[in-house]
């Protein structure tokens, strides 16, 4: 499908205003925007000033061309540097690449002393031996080591192994595939963006199972969490223009494959909830929102489930996360900067007889390959557990690799497993969206960790194992492969 091919590295073609615009455009002046006629992500496409970009020092390491060493005596380093710089700038226009040539450890020290406001280092090893890479990595900023194959290979292997042993913030790329360098650069971008991000947490409290201390999130990611009460949400909800809610609901109804239980009025309530959340996100310049929805709805603190709105937010490359689960919310926020693909929070079920894990929830994205990818069919159903309100059953694509993860700031760990989608389960019991995945690995091992982690996991369409490993290195997290 074209969505998969074009969206894999889409994060590397977006800027900060575009990311935030995908949220804020959905809330401001909605009457002037055709509802969801295209991804709201593209509403703001002006380039950012250089000062707002991720500033990445692009370091080319090699000796002078008169030296007999790899790649060979007389190699044209200058032309190679220009070629790589241009490729990187074309692939990652949101990055401000600052090229420099470093030929010794002393050169590296001088560079580090003079650098100001640098977000990270991309060290391209073009030749042997400069002895500069480890000097750069010791600065303790996000760093990428790249072997320009058959040029810097010996120095890359030695320096990267040493950096790993010292547990420095270094991603290593030794690959003939240029996109792997782009993926690594996106991780540095992700770290930068997390520091300017805002999460809204609605209706949570310190004794809630999904709560995380706000200072912990800010310490690990630099991300601000803004608490919102149910009263604050309801104040905005009650002011939503009924005509806007009607238009929004009608678009969801028109695009649905079928409506099963909910009335039109119930769907309009869900649309008003979506518009209220979007308005609050715009007000606080937030990229992500999570709502203590079950507690709120069961105790009559809110009058509509946010499920349909979460699905829309995730389709539009923002983050809408269930149940005030901050582990899932943080997971989805991080991954939103690494990939254009939205996450699917679920309560998993395991069927060992079929070597399957079934991800189940009453909400799911409809554009699993990103906002510019194809939309899959969906049904509008009631919320399953209480048979009330409006929710989503998304009919998800089959035959695709998935990566399922969860970040835990408390543990400073990321848990991960992978599989291949094999069936949409049509079963009245449990949550509405149910996608069965054939486990890649040992399904018996997959039974081992649930008492140490929450029941929830977040699933992504695509192979993102290396992305997760890379961002874990920069965040100083451990990756646990649970299958």
| Full DSSP string of 286-351 | -SEEEE-HHHHHHTTS-SS-SHHHHHHHHHTTSEEEGGG-HHHHHHHHHHHHH-SPPPEEEEEEEE
pLDDT at 334 over 90: yes
What is the share, in percent, of the chain residues with pLDDT greater than 70? 89
Dist. CA 277–CA 443, nearest whole Å = 38
Dist. CA 441–CA 153, nearest whole Å = 32
Task: Give residue 48's pLDDT.
Answer: 39
User: pLDDT tens across 191-201, in order?
Assistant: 999 999 999 99
The whole-chain average pLDDT of the chain stands at: 90
CA atoms within 13 A on the CB side of 242: 3
User: Using an 8 Å Cβ cutoff, are 81 and 148 in contact?
Assistant: no
Q: Can you give the pTM of this predicted structure?
A: 0.90
Residue 234 has which token pair?
């309801």
- Do the domains 197-481 and 50-193 match in fold? no
pLDDT at 111 over 80: yes
**At 349, is the pLDDT very low, low, confident or very high (cuts 50, 70, 90)?**
very high
Structurally, what CATH architecture does the domain formed by 50-193 represent? 3-Layer(aba) Sandwich (3.40)
CA atoms within 13 A on the CB side of 197: 30
**Nearest Cα to Cα of residue 380 among 432, 321, 317:** 432
pLDDT at 21 over 70: no
**Residue 383 backbone phi and psi in degrees, to 5:** -65, 130
Task: Give residue 52's pLDDT.
Answer: 75
User: Using an 8 Å Cβ cutoff, are 95 and 56 in contact?
Assistant: yes
Buried b (16+ CB within 10 A) or exposed e, 298-319: eeebbbbbbbbbbbbbbbbbbb
In the chain, where are the structural domains located? 50-193, 197-481
User: pLDDT tens across 131-143, in order?
Assistant: 999 999 999 999 9
User: pLDDT tens across 439-469, in order?
Assistant: 999 999 999 999 999 999 999 999 999 999 9
**At 340, is the pLDDT very low, low, confident or very high (cuts 50, 70, 90)?**
confident
What is the CATH number that goes with domain 197-481?
3.40.275.10
pLDDT at 42 over 80: no
* For range 104-112, the mean pLDDT: 97
């Amino acid at each position: 499908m074209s969505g998969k091919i074009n969206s894999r590295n889409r994060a590397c073609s977006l800027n900060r205003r575009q990311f935030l615009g995908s949220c804020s455009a959905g809330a401001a002046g909605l009457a002037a925007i055709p509802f969801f006629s295209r991804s709201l992500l593209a509403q703001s496409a002006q380039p950012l000033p250089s000062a707002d970009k991720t500033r990445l020092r692009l370091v080319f390491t090699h000796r002078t061309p008169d030296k007999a060493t790899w790649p060979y005596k007389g190699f044209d380093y200058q032309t190679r540097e220009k070629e790589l710089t241009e490729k990187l700038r074309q692939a990652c226009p949101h990055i401000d690449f600052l090229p420099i040539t470093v030929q010794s450890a002393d050169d590296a020290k001088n560079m580090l002393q003079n650098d100001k406001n640098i977000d990270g280092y991309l060290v391209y090893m073009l030749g042997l031996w400069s002895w500069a890479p480890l000097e750069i990595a010791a600065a303790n900023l996000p760093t990428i080591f790249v072997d320009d194959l058959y040029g810097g290979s010996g120095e890359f292997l030695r320096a990267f192994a040493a950096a790993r042993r010292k547990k420095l913030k270094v991603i290593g790329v030794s690959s003939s595939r240029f996109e792997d360098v782009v993926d690594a650069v996106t991780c540095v971008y992700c770290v930068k963006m997390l520091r300017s991000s805002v999460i809204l947490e609605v209706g949570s409290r310190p004794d809630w199972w999904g709560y995380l201390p706000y200072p912990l999130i800010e310490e690990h990611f630099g991300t601000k969490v803004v608490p919102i009460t149910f009263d604050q949400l309801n104040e905005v909800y009650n002011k939503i223009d009924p005509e806007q809610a009607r238009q929004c609901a009608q678009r969801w109804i028109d695009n649905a494959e079928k409506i099963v239980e909910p009335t039109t009025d119930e769907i309009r309530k869900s649309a008003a909830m979506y518009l209220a959340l979007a308005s609050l996100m715009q007000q606080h310049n937030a990229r992500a929102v999570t709502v203590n929805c079950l507690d709120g709805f069961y105790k009559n603190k809110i009058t509509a489930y946010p499920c349909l709105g979460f699905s829309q937010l995730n389709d539009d490359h923002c983050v809408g996360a269930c149940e005030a689960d901050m582990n899932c919310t943080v997971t989805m926020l991080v991954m939103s900067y690494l990939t254009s693909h939205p996450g699917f929070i679920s309560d998993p079920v395991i069927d060992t007889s079929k070597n399957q894990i079934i991800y189940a929830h009453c909400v799911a994205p409809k554009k699993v390959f990103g906002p510019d990818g194809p939309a899959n069919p969906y049904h509008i159903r009631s919320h399953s557990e209480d048979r009330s309100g409006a929710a989503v059953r998304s009919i998800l694509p089959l035959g695709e690799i998935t990566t399922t993860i969860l970040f835990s700031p408390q543990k400073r760990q990321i848990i991960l497993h992978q599989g291949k989608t094999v069936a949409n389960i049509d079963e009245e019991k449990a949550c509405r969206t149910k996608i069965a995945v054939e486990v890649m690995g040992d399904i018996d091992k997959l039974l081992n960790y649930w008492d140490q982690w929450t029941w929830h996991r977040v699933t992504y369409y695509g192979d993102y194992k290396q992305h997760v490993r890379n961002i874990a290195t920069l965040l100083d997290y451990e990756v646990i492969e649970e299958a």
